[in-house]
Structure 1
């Protein structure tokens, strides 16, 4: 680990300090932003992809219904434009639009006259566009890989080979293979410069094993708190005093999707237990197979 002794730092204005937990755990949902230009429709694609699957299907359903209502109103502008429809019946015009948009064509109602045929042509073209967009959006939304990495609810500080060591667990809930998994660990803290300016600073924490060629079940991630560690000499009260927070990011290649996935977590000072160790979750079953008990995944014991 050639980079263990190197500390890379990044500074942020102090107003970010109170919201760093929300950023680490929930994106930026807990942050109130003012003065930033709104992208609006220019970023509609991102907005659609980040909404829930149910919300996306609901949006497409609303667009579909509104399109049929619009075309039905256009058909009714010229009386008699739909052969076989009742005069002035909006429901007939609406369902004729549904049949045209869906290229069903039952035959009971047909376009009559130049106006209706032009509208039917436009509606058919609109159908080609909306079907292509809907298929692409749903496929992108469904096929986007997501990580199902579970982090232990708490972290512990316990002696490991004679050195106090920060430890926490991560588990691949899917049980498939995450190849070339990598973990990065950082300490976010509030500092005051010599000029008296409050700054939010990130300092890298060296991990004893930052890469794993195969992440399938469980991973115990450790950081030695020695003289080179930004955590050296700090306790829970010290971390609270500097607004400290441990930030975790794991990435790797999901062999199912053949795409890279990411997971993140954060530990606040009250979630770090000193002089504790994790309960053992590995054992041997009566039939000789190795047994991993996730019921004890978050449990800690006296060191």
Structure 2
């Protein structure tokens, strides 16, 4: 069988490791993976690196213009001719539109450089302000998921369950939960592939998510997990992918949260400890200290 090789601008090889039952794409989500994408690089780089980068750029641009002023000779009033410091600080004043008035351009050459620098200064401030706002304004969800998922009987049907809770004292409106099963399979033609299944949930959305949510999937004859065994989960490198999305009530923006459960984090014949309790005066409270705890059921 012949095949054609086509050129691509993408990275020729992407390394994938299996760690603790999870598939990890090497370099995925790290800031240095965006070296060829400056915008995403400036959004993902740590704040320390972002501030250092701004400082380096600021010093570099003022150094360039200071050298340009020096090349113009005695073109800045009240500045010592050939003084790098005077030219540098005059560039700082021009770039930031400070205008103290002690130093000012006195030749056509200097006025041309000032005009160019003023335009670059306005554009630079706009870009830095936009990037800083984009970093600050990114909506985030403080959502936790139970450390394990369990498979136990619910209304007489084997059911996959896990818990999630909102860590903020607000609501996530119109919260939607999606659960996917990923596993290795062999097709009838003998081709290996990683197949993804949608798991149908007993309740996949809620009008407001403020406390906790026990997500359930019934393992019936229509489920991809029907008649599956723990050994088969490990053999096929099965992985549950959980995706939660909704509208944060505080900022009125869509937030996302995700989690994954490899085969060894799916416990059979276990159930979660109840975290909802009643007080003597008839009220209720949620005990999050038991959020991740499970009980072993009798076989």
The TM-score range, normalised by the shorter chain, is 0.7 to 0.9
1:123 matches 2:124: no
What SS does the corresponding residue of 1:75 show, helix, strand or coil?
helix
Q: What RMSD in Å do the two structures reach over aligned CA positions?
A: 2.5
- Residue matched to 1:50: 44
- Residue matched to 2:22: 21
Is the Cα contact below 8 Å between 1:251 and 1:262 reproduced in 2?
A: yes
- Residue matched to 2:101: 107
Alignment of 1:1-80 (within 5 A): 18=18, 21-22=22-23, 28-29=28-29, 40=36, 43-80=37-74
Is the Cα contact below 8 Å between 1:156 and 1:272 reproduced in 2?
A: yes
Q: Which runs of 5+ in 2 are unaligned?
A: 1-14
Is the Cα contact below 8 Å between 2:16 and 2:24 reproduced in 1?
A: no
- Residue matched to 1:209: 203
Instruction: Report the CA distance between 1:111 and its aligned residue.
Output: 1.8
Is the Cα contact below 8 Å between 1:206 and 1:223 reproduced in 2?
A: yes
- Residue matched to 1:194: 188
Separation (CA, whole Å) in 2 of partners of 1:92 and 1:100: 12
**So what's the TM-score if we normalise by structure 2?**
0.85
- Residue matched to 2:3: none
Instruction: Report the CA distance between 1:171 and its aligned residue.
Output: 1.0
Is the Cα contact below 8 Å between 1:182 and 1:250 reproduced in 2?
A: yes
Instruction: Report the CA distance between 1:57 and its aligned residue.
Output: 3.0
With over 3 angstroms needed to count, the CA separation of the structure-2 counterparts of 1:69 and 1:247, relative to structure 1, is same
What SS does the corresponding residue of 2:22 show, helix, strand or coil?
helix
What SS does the corresponding residue of 1:145 show, helix, strand or coil?
coil
Instruction: Report the CA distance between 1:121 and its aligned residue.
Output: 1.4
Instruction: Report the CA distance between 1:18 and its aligned residue.
Output: 4.7
Q: Deviations over 1:136-177 (max 9, x none)?
A: 121122112112211111111111111111111111111311
Separation (CA, whole Å) in 2 of partners of 1:148 and 1:99: 43
Instruction: Report the CA distance between 1:276 and its aligned residue.
Output: 1.1
- Residue matched to 2:9: none
Instruction: Report the CA distance between 1:84 and its aligned residue.
Output: 1.9
Could you tell me which of 213, 222, 232 is aligned with 2:216?
A: 222
- In the alignment of these two chains, the number of paired residues is 280
Separation (CA, whole Å) in 1 of partners of 2:266 and 2:52: 42
Larger relative contact order (CA 8 Å, sep ≥ 6): 1
Could you tell me which of 209, 229, 238 is aligned with 2:232?
A: 238
Q: Deviations over 1:195-219 (max 9, x none)?
A: 1110110111111100111111111
Could you tell me which of 259, 274, 288 is aligned with 1:294?
A: 288
Separation (CA, whole Å) in 2 of partners of 1:16 and 1:231: 25
What SS does the corresponding residue of 1:79 show, helix, strand or coil?
coil
Is the Cα contact below 8 Å between 1:186 and 1:205 reproduced in 2?
A: yes
Separation (CA, whole Å) in 2 of partners of 1:27 and 1:289: 49
Is the Cα contact below 8 Å between 1:168 and 1:220 reproduced in 2?
A: yes
